Amino acid sequence: MDSPYGIVVKGIAAAVTGAISELGWKETGLSNTIGASKGFGDISCSVAFKLAKELKKSPKEIADAIASKLGPVEMVAKAEADGGYVNFYLDRKSFAAATLGYAARLEAGKAASDLGKGLKVIIEYPSVNPNKPWHIGHLRNALLGDAVANIYDACGYEVEREDFINDLGLQVAESLWGYMNLGDKPEGKFDTWLGEEYVKVSKAIGENAETKAGVGKLLSLIEQDGTYESKLGREVSEKCVMAQYDTSFKYGIYHDVLVWESDVLGYKLLEKAMGILEKANIAKKADDQEYNGCFVINLNEVKELPKELQGLKENSKVLIRSDGNPTYVAKDIAFHMWKFGLIPSAFKYSVFLERQPNGKTLYTTSKDGRPMDFGGVKKAINIIDVKQSFPQMILKLSFNALGRDDIADGIEHLAYGRVELEGESLAGRKGTWEGYTADLLLEETVKKALSLIGTRFNLTESEHNRIARIIALSAIKFEFLKIAPEKWITFSWKWALNFDGDSGPYCQYMHARASRLIEDSRADVGSLLIGPDCTLISGDNEFRLLKLISQATDMVEKACKEMRPNVITDYIVDLAGAFGKFYDSVPVLKAKVEDEKKARLALVLGFAKSMKFSLGLLGLEAIDRM
């Protein structure tokens, strides 16, 4: 669905291109010079500044020439050159009519763009080891993954939400050793209890050689298909994952499929992947002194190696160690060969959860079950800690070396930075996640939200509790998503629960205000956006709000292309702020003229629909009443 703003920008680009061509000049990347005006006009084009050096003319002279050659542009009343800019003034009546009609078609949870129509994408998150509860670092991963999946959904992609479960690593072996040997009985939430066992064993390994040897032996046994230890390990891991999903569902986060590392090995994906690399002569068993007995990949054939790899000896990377154990990168290569269909899917699937709270079934790879249509994509997005950037680089380059640049280009690493809470950093091996779990964060935020709203809103006790939980979720999600992914976060309750500015609760409150206005008007909502007198939407505060409403699709497409949910948080803060100024300065229900009242109510409804759509992209609920 093309937005009114997008239609105008395309029209301006075509008109400016035509004018430049008529003047005998050439220009590429024109769209990067068109955007919201910071001075005169509604939309400005700064292409004259780009052309000035090449043409050896002043920006003002170029802009004047372009303006003189411009043809008509849909929904634009006039265009004027000013000091190097070409400023475009919208025709307010036609633009308002188009925007209100557009807003009427915005629906939360439905595609608003065909940017990804016909394309399938796997989004992998949060992939927490099945030996402990989510801490707030894991939560950032999960919230980013969920928001990106929602954004891709809204852009028309077929989205597969995938959770990769690493049930064969050292951390899992340590937790399982504690489960089998410490004699503690599970109490409370299983993932939290198991995580405490992990902390105990991790500490004991550093103090006791016998414990260390026992964990090492157990690690080997759980990676051997069919052993008692591998079966028990899978059973304990599944129980932990089930507990983790209790947390996931509290935050409104769901998946389509779980893929287990033990199944990646059990279905021989690793052997098949290593065979493909060896057959292509880019991986082999090394016989030199440094890598003797290891199976390594040679990346010398990759053109323009990143500087991070240029220092590696012979640009080799170990895939299988001399003891036969695969590295993280080897397993990831095999996994991505499955994702992109390079290895035909041999997985079978069974039901892990028949019905998630969103109504959908969660499937899992398993030894028993049936084939299903998971995997086989053109694009895969991995939400992984910024510390894993190097292995992700090796992963992509491995496909370059294989001659599959299409797969390498289709792998996207959305790297995210660390999370801190009140100055405390997290480190799983030290157990400092204790006290900083996603469960405890939500509980504490609900308490603070209850205290904050107090008697501020006219609500019953049950409504207070319900709204406090919605506000708490909004506060957490917005605070985590408003920061660019690669930056560190220090979570602050003061800012997260702020009702007067850059926060989720503030944006929800503005939506509730709009909903209350519409409710109090007793108007027929279905007819509000049909045929209002758009000439009456003419004030500056009204038109500023209208222009922002008109950009919802453009913002979701920008967020999709950049994989940045903070594009949406910035947008809805601007949208809420514009509505606040409109609300405070323009009478709606007390408008002097009935047609004016109807036009302003239409604008209020347009705001509510665009805000609900945008909040939904972040997994936030649009509250109708506070």
Burial 391-424 (b: 16+ CB within 10 A, else e): ebbbbbbbbbbbebeebbebbbbbbbbbbbbeee
pLDDT at 171 over 70: yes
Q: Quickly name the fold that domain 438-617 has.
A: Isoleucyl-tRNA Synthetase; Domain 1 (1.10.730)
Confidence of residue 289 (pLDDT cuts 50, 70, 90): confident
CB atoms within 10 A of CB 86: 28
Q: What is the pLDDT of residue 313?
A: 56
Q: Is the full-model pTM beyond 0.85?
A: yes
- The radius of gyration computed from the CA coordinates of the chain, to the nearest angstrom, equals 28
Element (H, E) at 160: strand 158-165
Q: Tokens standing for 137?
A: 């670092």
Q: What is the pLDDT of residues 338-350, one digit of tens each?
A: 999 999 888 999 9
Residue of higher predicted confidence among 255 and 206? 255
The DSSP annotation for 387-407 comes to GGHHHHHHHHHHHHHTT-HHH
Per-residue pLDDT, averaged over 351-365, amounts to 97
Q: What is the pLDDT of residues 191-244, one digit of tens each?
A: 999 999 999 998 898 888 999 999 999 999 998 888 999 999 999 999 999 999
How large a percentage of the chain has pLDDT more than 70? 95
Per-residue pLDDT, averaged over 10-17, amounts to 96
User: Which residue ranges make up each domain of the chain?
Assistant: 4-90, 120-262+335-421, 268-334, 438-617
Burial 93-111 (b: 16+ CB within 10 A, else e): bebbbbbbebbbebebeeb
Across the chain, what does the average pLDDT equal? 91
Q: Tokens standing for 290?
A: 């440094």
Q: What is the pLDDT of residue 459?
A: 72
Q: What is the pLDDT of residue 312?
A: 58
Q: What is the pLDDT of residues 312-346, one digit of tens each?
A: 555 568 999 998 888 889 999 999 999 999 998 88
SS3 category, 207: coil
Give the up-direction half-sphere exposure of residue 580: CA atoms within 13 A in the CB hemisphere.
15
Q: What is the pLDDT of residue 222?
A: 92
Q: What is the pLDDT of residue 316?
A: 65
In this structure, are residues 382 and 392 in contact, taking their beta carbons and an 8 Å threshold? yes
Query: Which of 623, 540, 528 is closest to 581 using CA atoms?
Result: 540
CB atoms within 10 A of CB 290: 11
Q: What is the pLDDT of residue 225?
A: 84
Residue of higher predicted confidence among 98 and 36? 98
pLDDT at 495 over 60: yes
pLDDT at 285 over 50: yes
Q: What is the pLDDT of residue 499?
A: 83
Q: What is the pLDDT of residues 415-438, one digit of tens each?
A: 999 998 765 544 544 556 777 899
Least reliable range by pLDDT among 82-91, 131-140, 160-169, 284-293: 284-293
Per-residue pLDDT, averaged over 387-400, amounts to 91
> Rounded CA gap, 295 and 285, in Å?
4
Q: What is the pLDDT of residues 501-552, one digit of tens each?
A: 889 999 999 999 999 999 999 888 878 877 889 899 889 999 999 999 999 9
Per-residue pLDDT, averaged over 352-378, amounts to 96
Confidence of residue 261 (pLDDT cuts 50, 70, 90): very high
Which residues does residue 382 pair with via DSSP β-bridges, in sequence order?
Answer: 124, 413
Element (H, E) at 12: helix 4-22
Q: Quickly name the fold that domain 120-262+335-421 has.
A: Rossmann fold (3.40.50)
Non-local CB neighbours of 26 within 8 Å, separated by 6+ positions: 20
Q: 276-285, 316-325, 461-470: which has the highest mean pLDDT? A: 276-285
pLDDT at 181 over 50: yes
Non-local CB neighbours of 91 within 8 Å, separated by 6+ positions: 75, 76, 77
Query: What superfamily would CATH give domain 4-90?
Result: Arginyl tRNA synthetase N-terminal domain (3.30.1360.70)
Terminus-to-terminus CA distance in the chain, angstroms? Answer: 32
pLDDT at 273 over 70: yes
Per-residue pLDDT, averaged over 70-93, amounts to 95
